[in-house]
Amino acid sequence: MAELITVKSKEEYKAVIIGVKQRKSIDYSMDELEGLAIARGVTVLEKTVQTVNKINQSTYLGKGKIEELKLMVEALDCNLVIANDELSGIQTRNLEDALKVQVIDRTILILDIFAERATTLEGKLQVELAQLEHRLTRLTGKGIAMSNPGAGIGTRGPGEKKLEVDRRHITKRIYDIKKELKEADKTRRTKRKKAEKAGLPLVSLVGYTNSGKSAIMNRILMMTGKEDKIVFEEDLLFATLDTSKRLIKAKDNRDFLLTDTVGFVSKLPHPLVKAFRATLEEASQSDLILVVVDGASSYQDFHLEVTEEVLRELSLSHKERLTVFNKEDLFKEDLEVKGKDNIAVSARTGFNFDKLLGEITERLYRDELIADLLIPFERGDILSYLMKHNRVMYIKHTEKGTELKVAVKEEEYKKLKEFYR
Ligand SMILES: Nc1nc2c(ncn2[C@@H]2O[C@H](COP(=O)(O)OP(=O)(O)OP(=O)(O)O)[C@@H](O)[C@H]2O)c(=O)[nH]1
Ligand SMILES: [Mg+2]
Q: Which of 364, 380, 400 finishes a domain?
A: 364
Euclidean distance between CA atoms 202 and 263, whole angstroms: 18
**Is residue 150 domain-resident?**
no
Q: What does each C-alpha distance from 347 to 130, 147, 240, 330 come to in angstroms?
A: 33, 46, 16, 11
Three-state SS at 148: coil
| 334 and 391 inside one domain | no
**Is residue 145 domain-resident?**
no
| 373 and 274 inside one domain | no
CB-based contact 66:60 (threshold 8 Å): no
Closest CA to 326 of 296, 363, 303: 296
| 384 and 354 inside one domain | no
**Is residue 178 domain-resident?**
no
Domain tally, the chain: 3
Ligand 1 centroid, distance to 414 Cα (angstroms): 44
Euclidean distance between CA atoms 138 and 254, whole angstroms: 51
Per DSSP, 45 falls in state E
| 376 and 353 inside one domain | no
**Is residue 266 domain-resident?**
yes
Three-state SS at 116: helix
106-117 and 270-284 are packed helices; what angle lies between their axes, rounded to 10 degrees? 50
- The predicted model scores a pTM of 0.78
Neighbours of 419 (CB within 10 A): 19
Closest CA to 114 of 283, 233, 237: 237
| 47 and 98 inside one domain | yes
Q: How confident is the model at residue 117 (pLDDT cuts 50, 70, 90)?
A: confident
Taking the CA of 263 as reference, the closest ligand is 1
Ligand 1 centroid, distance to 328 Cα (angstroms): 12
Q: Which domain holds residue 64?
A: 14-118
Euclidean distance between CA atoms 160 and 166, whole angstroms: 10
Provide the pLDDT for residue 98: 95
Taking the CA of 117 as reference, the closest ligand is 1
In this structure, what CATH number is given to the domain that contains residue 241?
3.40.50.300
| 324 and 392 inside one domain | no
Three-state SS at 110: helix
**Is residue 309 domain-resident?**
yes
Taking phi over 0 as left and psi of -120 to 50 as alpha, with beta for the rest, 212 belongs to left
Q: What's the farthest any 2 CA atoms get from each other in the chain?
A: 87
Euclidean distance between CA atoms 93 and 142, whole angstroms: 10
**pLDDT tens digit string along 36-52?**
999 888 999 999 999 99
**Is residue 129 domain-resident?**
no
Nearest residue (CA) to ligand 1, atom 2: 327
Three-state SS at 367: coil
**pLDDT tens digit string along 139-163?**
754 433 443 344 443 344 556 677 7
CB-based contact 81:4 (threshold 8 Å): no
Ligand 2 centroid, distance to 9 Cα (angstroms): 25
Euclidean distance between CA atoms 419 and 404, whole angstroms: 10
Q: Which of 118, 146, 164 finishes a domain?
A: 118
Nearest residue (CA) to ligand 1, atom 21: 210
Element (H, E) at 257: strand 256-260
Closest CA to 99 of 76, 50, 66: 66
Taking the CA of 212 as reference, the closest ligand is 1
Q: What does each C-alpha distance from 402 to 107, 333, 373, 374, 399 come to in angstroms?
A: 56, 55, 8, 5, 8
Euclidean distance between CA atoms 256 and 235, whole angstroms: 27
| 292 and 227 inside one domain | yes
Q: Which of 78-82, 141-145, 240-244, 245-249 has the lowest mean pLDDT?
A: 141-145
346 lines ligand 1 (CB under 6 A): yes
Euclidean distance between CA atoms 292 and 289, whole angstroms: 9
Provide the pLDDT for residue 10: 57
CA 305 remoteness from chain centre: 15
Q: Which of 118, 144, 168 finishes a domain?
A: 118
| 351 and 385 inside one domain | no
Percentage with pLDDT > 70 across the chain: 87
CB-based contact 126:275 (threshold 8 Å): yes
Closest CA to 293 of 344, 348, 241, 237: 344
| 242 and 337 inside one domain | yes
Ligand 1 centroid, distance to 165 Cα (angstroms): 44
Mean per-residue pLDDT of the chain = 85
138 lines ligand 1 (CB under 6 A): no
| 358 and 372 inside one domain | no
Provide the pLDDT for residue 198: 60
Ligand 2 centroid, distance to 208 Cα (angstroms): 10
* 7, 86, 212, 287: CA torsion to nearest 10: -110
Compute the Cα dihedral for 305, 311, 315, 316 and give only its sign: negative
Q: What is the mean pLDDT of residues 382-398?
A: 87
209 lines ligand 1 (CB under 6 A): yes
Euclidean distance between CA atoms 332 and 325, whole angstroms: 12
Ligand 2 centroid, distance to 356 Cα (angstroms): 19
| 389 and 330 inside one domain | no
243 lines ligand 1 (CB under 6 A): no
Provide the pLDDT for residue 141: 44
Closest CA to 291 of 255, 315, 319: 319
**pLDDT tens digit string along 206-231?**
999 899 999 999 999 999 888 777 77
In this structure, what CATH number is given to the domain that contains residue 65?
3.40.50.11060
**pLDDT tens digit string along 245-293?**
888 988 877 889 999 888 888 777 776 776 666 667 777 788 999 999 9
| 280 and 382 inside one domain | no
